[in-house]
Amino acid sequence: MAFYYRTPEQVAASDAKRANTIAAKREKRVALSEQRKRELFARRIEERDRQRAEREQTKADARKSMRLGNLNEEERRIFLLHRLVWNAMKFRCYNPKCKQFKDYGGRGISVCDRWLESFDNFLLDMNFRPDDDHQLDRIDNNGNYEPGNCRWVPRAINMKNQRRTGRFPALSDDQKRSVFQDSVTMTVKEIAEKYNVNRQVIYSLLAKMRNGTV
């Protein structure tokens, strides 16, 4: 068997060639890895832009569909009710002639610029209420009308969350019993003036008493 003798210089050259080959392969892998990263990043950017464009298109379609001419009778009714809620919200906060102004605008409650400037923004942020029994409610009763502090809640819960004022104080149990007795000889208006409450409170209380729910 013949042996091939290599000089030290040949061995060194062979080792250098092998090292260069390994380094070249490593650089190629790194380059491919960086290329994949760039391609992956580009795809992510493209997907993000596509989703953003879809959201903007959805909003544009929603604004377009909100035009009354494109709505049927029921959709028109729902649309107008939500616009009424939006107008009432601004009316309470910015019109001193509103009876409730002192409990809203008079206390510094305001509407955020995004909603104040656009009904479309209000509707897109709040969406449609689940049903006609739901009302607009502020989570923090001392906070403003703005995204994150508003929600749709059932009417009964909203009534419980409303801030009580000195104008219509709550009736005690003894006063409630007296209201029923006074109803025999007095009118609702007279009873309301006697206890310094809204006549609607008396109407509601008497109805519950007659139904046995109080």
Q: How far apart are CA 152 and CA 154, in angstroms?
A: 7
pLDDT at residue 65 in the model: 55
Model confidence pLDDT, tens digit, residues 3-12: 566 677 777 8
pLDDT at residue 209 in the model: 76
DSSP code at position 130: S
Backbone angles phi, psi at 13, to 5 degrees: -65, -40
Model confidence pLDDT, tens digit, residues 126-170: 988 888 888 899 988 889 999 999 999 888 777 665 654 444 456
Q: Which amino acid is at 69?
A: G
Of 210 and 91, the one with more pLDDT: 91
Model confidence pLDDT, tens digit, residues 91-126: 999 999 888 888 899 989 999 999 998 888 998 899
Longest dimension (CA), the chain: 133
Of 212 and 47, the one with more pLDDT: 47
Of 178 and 171, the one with more pLDDT: 178
pLDDT at residue 168 in the model: 43
Query: Where in 38-171 does DSSP place strands (E)?
Result: 134-138, 150-154
Model confidence pLDDT, tens digit, residues 40-73: 788 888 888 888 887 777 666 666 555 555 667 8
pLDDT at residue 149 in the model: 92
Which pTM does this prediction carry? 0.47
